[in-house]
Amino acid sequence: MSLKDFFIALSENQFLNNNAKKYGLKLGAASVVAGTNIAEVMDSIKELNSHGISCTVDNLGEFVHDQSEATAAKEQILAVIEAIHQNNVDAHISLKPSQLGLDIDYDFCYRNLKEIVALADQYNIFVNFDMENYERLQPSFNLLEKLSKDHQNIGTVIQAYFLRAKDDIKKFKDFRLRIVKGAYKESSDVAYQEKEDIDRNYIDLLEYHLLHGKFTSIATHDHNIINHIKKFIADHNIPNEKYEFQMLYGFRQDMQLQLVKEGYNFCTYVPFGQDWYGYFMRRLAERPQNIELVIKQVFNKKTNTLLGVAAAGFIVGRLTKRR
């Protein structure tokens, strides 16, 4: 099993997710999760806004299996929308349909999303539908299309590892889209498996939507791709109001600030909440080098590398030993 597969497997383990909550954010996730409640995330957003950075806010949540859990998630997201409005911060919402009941009942999920989108529309706040695994892909697109008949403040994500991504980006080019590589384990029947193929498709999707789409969120930490896209933007005279760069909270902050300094629109993806485990493991799966970030931020810079590695192993072991 590759390191990527290992962390994806961990992200999908409900038992480990439940146990991880007991430790709060003490296992290194505090560096990449902007607090556990709305007050804390508002403070984080205000700090980012002070540097000229916009935010998209994700109320973390995994393994929603009954309507009461989905309803609670909906109420929390509604409260976040109210807080964005009341605090007058530069932020919008990112959400996962599965957290709002997609795996329980389609119509129930639609009603929850409708309530969220309607309130956000009232306050002129954008709502982005995050995409998940392939099984949920088409139902999520269906929800987006249905809601877009009454509301224009919504968009979604195109995942470059899916073979169907080029068809999807053409179909949804009139939506605001975030373009990502993809963070779930998918079969070769539906997704590219090699990094080179995913990167190539990712660049193709970005270039298409920058030229033909409504608005493009360029979501990557890869400086090579960023440099390529910066040149593409300059060569094609694409105006600033048509795109933004986007990165995750806690990752490559120096590059985030540098892009703002260079005059680019920038948005940070800001996750918050107690249910951080699955999100955190997928970030490690996307880019296993992120383990180094965790070690550096859990231990001071003078810590011996071997001690850091041993401690990281202890962190994983502590979560897995009770299986």
- pLDDT, tens only, 241-264: 999 999 999 888 999 999 999 999
Q: Are 135 and 101 a contacting pair, CB within 8 Å?
A: no
Sort 92 into a burial class: Cβ within 10 Å, 0-12 / 13-18 / 19+: buried
Question: Would you call 287 a catalytic residue per the annotation?
Answer: no
**Do the beta carbons of residue 260 and residue 266 sit within 8 Å?**
yes
Residue 319 has a pLDDT of 45
**Residues contacting residue 188 through CB under 8 Å, at least 6 positions apart:** none
Phi, psi of 296 (to 5 degrees): -65, -35
For residue 178, indicate whether it is catalytic.
yes
- pLDDT attached to residue 9: 59
- Which residues, 6+ apart, have CB-to-CB distance to 215 below 8 Å? 155, 176, 177, 242, 243, 244
CATH topology of domain 34-272: TIM Barrel (3.20.20)
Mean pLDDT for the chain overall: 86
- Cα distances from 300 to residues 17, 190, 256, 286, 317, in angstroms, run 27, 42, 23, 24, 21
pLDDT one-digit tens code per residue, 183-231 = 888 999 999 999 999 999 999 999 999 999 999 999 999 999 999 999 9
> Considering the entire predicted model, what is its pTM?
0.83
In sign, the C-alpha dihedral spanning 276, 277, 280, 286 is negative
Whole-number pLDDT of residue 293: 53
DSSP letter for 69, please: H
Residues in the chain with pLDDT < 50? 297-316, 318-323
pLDDT score at 286:
62
Contacts for 208 with CB less than 8 Å, ≥ 6 apart: 166, 169, 170, 173
Cα radius of gyration rounded to whole Å, the chain: 19
Record the tokens describing residue 144, joined without a space: 């987006």
Distance, in Å, from the CA atom of 196 to the CA atom of 201, rounded to the nearest integer, reads 9
Q: 176, 178, 283, 287: which one is catalytic?
A: 178
pLDDT for 303 equals 38
Q: Which residue among 130, 168, 199, 275 is the active-site one?
A: 130
Which positions ≥6 away from 72 have C-beta within 8 Å?
Answer: none
